[in-house]
A and B are shown apart, each in its own frame.
Chain A
Amino acid sequence: MAYTEEELKKELETKEYEYGFYTDIDSETFPVGLNEEVVRRISQKKKEPEWMTQWRLKAYQAWKKMDEPEWANVHYSKPDYQAISYYSAPKKKDQYKSLDEVDPELRKTFDKLGISIDEQKKLAGVAVDIVMDSVSVATTFKDTLAEKGIIFCSISEAIQEHPDLVKKYIGTVIPIKDNYFASLNSAVFSDGSFCYIPKGVRCPMELSTYFRINQAGTGQFERTLVIADESSYVSYLEGCTAPSRDENQLHAAVVELIALDNAEIKYSTVQNWFPGDKNGKGGVFNFVTKRGICHKNSKISWTQVETGSAVTWKYPSCILKGDNSIGEFYSIALTNNYQQADTGTKMVHLGKNTKSTIISKGISAGKSQNSYRGLVQVHPKATNARNFSQCDSLLMGNRCGAHTFPYIEAKNKTAQIEHEATTSKIGEDQIFYCNQRGIDPEKAIALVVNGFSKEVLNKLPMEFAVEAQKLLEISLEGSVG
């Protein structure tokens, strides 16, 4: 294999890859509304087997009987679920003829993030006329994985090509009746990613949705399924630091992770959906269900950097079913202007000697509200379960809010649970101190915020961490003074 991951990335920066702009043969959009017929037709469009159609229908029936949850510390006007079209051609028409037509604010952000012109075009939805040479980088990448028996493809493809694996695992971690948004997703999910790492295989590179073909437009109802077979390892990166201005207001994704005996999954996310403007207009509602199950001696680490969306409702969780399994959650959630985030994790200890670590860093600026919500649950059979939680909040100014809702349920006397929480404010004295050393106020804030977030940033793959750091800085711009 000639390419290292680094080289691949460079390649991608300088070349367009043809698969990034796949046009769906079907440009049809369904009329708005959701009913059994719509669910059937989605399944039909995707040429799914009957079991999948039935699975979706069951989810739809469950969803119909459910109410939208209201317990989170967020306020928004509920979407009208009958006013949404649940199927449309995945790739919208190019909105602009050239980059000059793109919002200059958006372009400035792209430049700051160091995104190449071609990449900018792709992200902003500008027509691109360069076609890449015949050797596809993405194909080369896929070949490397195939050699090791790793499957990395879209979930639609997986349903066609690897039905046994999908059938065996989909909905096993997040059942179709799990919650309102998960049920909705199960009924109507349009696409997403599938990943399988065979027994004993260590995935040689970070798997990133960035590389995966047919992933130009992230769907409104994305579905991800990652299976790490016994003694395998995979690090999976989701998202992109570039701002995604999607027209879809509602996003309800589902991510299921399965770590079989002795396996390890690292799942890192950078979420930067459109947060709405400075006055709180617009922005994405991000209602995500993410959960992983750990079998014996296995480990799942969730790392997330959340800077986008108007409303975030997200709790990546671990079910520590197997003895000696480990669950980790490292999170940075940054809210500015009128953003609202209610995010955290659930660590469910079922097996013996299970361990979990939670490090949550909430940064609130502007008039935003930032909540940590976490549950640590130790079941009666989980002897010697251990948890350490640390929830730190950093406030900027005095119009924002930080909230912590830690729930602990211990039903085994041997459980050791520690919880630490701090709240601090970026002080004028800190800013002045930096200023006096020649560091301007915006850089000073970035410095303080990066210091605050360091423990979590360190958990991200190097490349991603640098981008995430820049992203934090940009997200806080204009919040000084």
Chain B
Amino acid sequence: MLTIENLHAKVEGKHILKGIDLDVKAGEVHAIMGPNGSGKSTLSSVIAGHQDYEISQGTMLLEGEDLSEFAPEERAHKGIFLSFQYPVEIPGVSVTNFIKAAINASRKAKGFDDMAANEMLKKIREKSSLLEIDSRFLSRSLNEGFSGGEKKRNEIFQMAMLEPKLSILDETDSGLDIDALKIVANGVNKLRSNDNAIIVITHYQRLLEYIIPDFVHVLFDGKIVKSGTKDLAVELEEKGYDWIKEMA
């Protein structure tokens, strides 16, 4: 599904990614771990197409198509979803209205009419119950005054609504207490299928106890220095990142 080869990227002239190789197939969950500043969030921004990041070398293909040719919204239409580490507030725009705009924008890009109101409503009900979201929550302004947990749950709610092919969860566990973490992870697990793929970016192993990855990669100084199975995450938790640094 996603094939990244020798990806180099910089922001404000500073090289952050220094040759990433990653192959994510449909049905897989990959975890990317690493210490602060290793380039984890940069990788997610580059895949999503943030304009501040410049690709200097390498390729990024989604189902064979070169992603770098597409604007962020076009990548979204193609099925890329990024759950933000720090979701932004949009005052006056309700959660419902926002997701409606998002769904209809993608439909429009694909040549479909707007989703019928009753269909939208049905889908919202279904997905919000999946994530144990109160209906009152849906009428609140997007992320305004949301707790950390509410923000992340809202991100996963959007993921559920948009049904992306490839989801990147950027530090989704940060700011969550254990109960919220369980709900979010549970929601993500329910969304897993043989047709989609998920990249989980995290600093800690904690989230991976609930979202079990097929592969774990360790990112350090802009490169993937070690890959393995979920056992690698446990090893990292025990030993910390220092031994990785020594390896690099």
Contacts and interface: CB of A to CB of B under 8 A. Distances in A.
Contacts of B72: 432, 435-436
Interface residues on chain B, size class: 20 to 34
Interface stretch (B83-91, B176-184, B237-245): B83-91
Interface in A406-433: 427-430, 432-433
Contact of B93 (A428, A432, A438, A448): A448
Contacts of B84: 433, 436
A142 interface: no
Interface in B174-219: none
B92 A427 contact: no
Nearest to B76: A438
B60 interface: no
A437 B72 CA distance: 8
B92 A452 contact: yes
A443 interface: yes
B82 A430 contact: no
Interface string B112-145: 0000000000000000000000000000011000
Contacts, number: 77
Interface stretch (B25-33, B100-108, B220-228): B100-108
A454 B94 CA distance: 11
A117 interface: no
B77 interface: yes
Interface residues of A, number: 23
Interface in A135-171: none
A447 B88 contact: no
Given A429-B88, A435-B71, A447 B98 contact: yes
Most buried by A among B93, B103, B106, B162: B93
Given A443-B105, A451-B141, A436 B76 contact: yes
A438 B92 contact: no
B96 interface: no
Contacts of B158: 437
22 contacts: A430-B88, A433-B88, A434-B90, A435-B71, A435-B72, A436-B48, A436-B76, A436-B84, A437-B101, A438-B76, A438-B103, A438-B162, A439-B105, A447-B90, A448-B90, A448-B93, A450-B92, A450-B93, A451-B90, A452-B92, A454-B92, A455-B92
Interface of B: 48-51, 71-73, 75-77, 81-82, 84, 87-88, 90-93, 98, 101-103, 105-106, 109, 141-142, 158, 162
Interface of A: 427-430, 432-441, 443, 447-448, 450-455
Given A432-B50, A447-B90, A452-B92, 8 more contacts: A427-B88, A433-B87, A437-B105, A438-B106, A439-B101, A447-B101, A451-B141, A451-B142
